[in-house]
Amino acid sequence: MEKETLLLPARDPERDRESIALAGRILREGGIVAIPTETVYGLAGNALDPAATGRIYAAKGRPSDNPLIVHIQGMEEWPPLVKEVPPEAKGLAERFWPGPLTIILEKSALVPETTSGGLDTVAVRMPSDPVARAVIREAGVPLAAPSANRSGSPSPTTWRHCRDDLMGRVDAILQAGDCGVGVESTVLSLCRGPDGSRRPRLLRPGAVTLEQLRQALGEVVVDRGVLEHLEEGEKAPSPGMKYKHYAPRAEVVLVKGSTEGYRRYLENCRQPGEHAMCFTQDLPLREPVLCYGGREDHAAQAERLFDLLRQLDRTGAKKVYIHAPAPDGVGLAVYNRLIRAAAFRVVEV
Ligand code: TXA
Ligand code: MG
C-alpha cells in the first residue's frame, strides 16, 4: 500500500495554520492523517465515513472488530453520536474534558458499524491538545482516531514514531510536539448492564485516575482485563484488551519488589545483552540500562514508557527486566501497559 505521505509542520495551531487547513481538507475528503493529542498520536479519519475508517484499519493492520475512539472538540458534538447523555456522563465530561478520558455509551444511528467495531456502543473523547482541537474544528466532522502505531507495536508519542510506523501508508503526518501524557486515555464505560443500571466500569486506566473517577462517581468497577490475562475465547468488554499490545520485540519481564530486591535479582540473573529498565532510585546498575523516572513519579514513567520500549527495539535488546511501578494513581496505567508488554510474565522479588 505505498502512497505519498505528506509531513506537515504543526507545532503551533496559529503559526502552522496552513498545515492544519490542509489536514482538515484531507480528512473532509476521506483521507487519513496522524495527529498529535496530549496522550499519544492518533491516526485520524472521518468517524462518520466507513470508507475513511476502513483506511485506518488497513493502514494500522488492525482487526476490524476493535472499535475506534471518536474525537470531538465541542460538547455539542456529543449528543448526536449517542442515544442519550446520562447525567453522570455529563458530570464527568464537565470535570475532565477536554482531557485524557474516553466515555463509552450506547451509540446513535449516526455512528457506522465500522467505527464501533460492530458494537452498539461508541467511545468518545475530547482531547485537550490545541493542534488536535484545531484539526477537528477544521475537518468539521468527528474524527475516529486509534493510536497511530502499526497494530501490536507501542503507541507513538512523537511524530517520528508515526513516521517509523506509517510512512507510505497514510496521507499525512503532523509534525507537532511530543505527547505530554504518554499513555492512552482512560476508558470508562457508562453503558447499561443487563439489570438496566449504569455501573461505571474502568476498561483501560490512564491519566484520569481510578481514584479521581471514584471521587466523582462513587463506585467504579475495574474490569478484570485491566490487570489479568483474559483466557482464549473469553469475551472481552473492550476488544482491545485481547490483542497483544505495546510489546517491543525483546522479551519483557516485569519485576515487582523493593529497590534492594530488584538490584539483587538483576545481579543474579542478567546475561550479556539483557537490559534493565529501572527507576532513578535503582541506579547505579550495570549497563545496558534505561531509566524511566523516579519510583513515585508515575507521570514521568508514563511520558517516557513507549519511547523507551521503541529504543529497546532499535538497540536490538533480547530481553529486558523492567521494575514495576505501584499500581495506584497514574501508576495503574503504566502497570497495565507493562503487564501486556510482558505478556503477563511477572516475577516477585
Ligand atoms: O488516548 C487515546 O485514547 C488515543 C488517542 C489517539 O486519542 N487513542 C487510542 O485509541 O488509544 P486505540 O484505538 O488505540 O484504543 C482504544 C481502546 C481499544 O482498546 C478499544 O478496544 C477500546 O478503546 N474501545 C473503543 N471503543 C469501544 C467500545 N465501544 N466498547 C469497548 N471498548 C472500546
Ligand atoms: Mg492502540
List per-residue pLDDT tens for the chain, 349 residues long. 689 999 999 999 999 999 999 999 999 999 999 999 999 999 999 999 999 999 999 999 998 889 999 999 999 999 999 999 999 999 999 999 999 999 999 999 999 999 999 999 999 999 999 999 999 999 999 999 999 999 888 999 999 999 999 999 999 999 999 999 999 999 999 999 999 999 999 999 999 999 999 999 999 999 999 998 887 677 777 777 765 667 788 999 999 999 999 999 999 888 988 999 999 999 999 999 999 999 999 999 999 999 999 999 999 999 999 999 999 999 999 999 999 999 999 999 9
Q: How far is the CA of 147 from the centre of ligand 2 (A)?
A: 4
Instruction: Report the distance separating Cα 165 and Cα 280, nearest Å.
Output: 30
How far, in Å, are 13, 58, 167, 191, 222 from residue 148 at the CA level? 20, 12, 11, 27, 26
Ligand 1 pocket mutation pick from 70, 71, 72, 102 by most atoms within 8 angstroms of CB: 102
**Residue ranges lining ligand 1, Cβ < 6 Å:** 37, 39-40, 42, 66-69, 100, 102, 104, 116, 119, 121-123, 145-147, 184-185, 187, 203, 238-240
Radius of gyration of the chain (CA): 20
Q: What is the pLDDT of residue 86?
A: 97
- Which ligand 1 atom is at minimum distance from the Cα of 203? 32
Q: What is the pLDDT of residue 197?
A: 93
Residues with CB under 5 A from ligand 2 (ion): 147
- Which ligand 1 atom is at minimum distance from the Cα of 121? 29
Q: What is the pLDDT of residue 242?
A: 64
Strands 121-125 and 101-106: antiparallel
Longest dimension (CA), the chain: 59
Per the CB < 8 A criterion, the answer to whether 123 and 103 are in contact is: yes
Q: What is the pLDDT of residue 236?
A: 75
Per the CB < 8 A criterion, the answer to whether 147 and 42 are in contact is: yes
Q: What is the pLDDT of residue 80?
A: 98
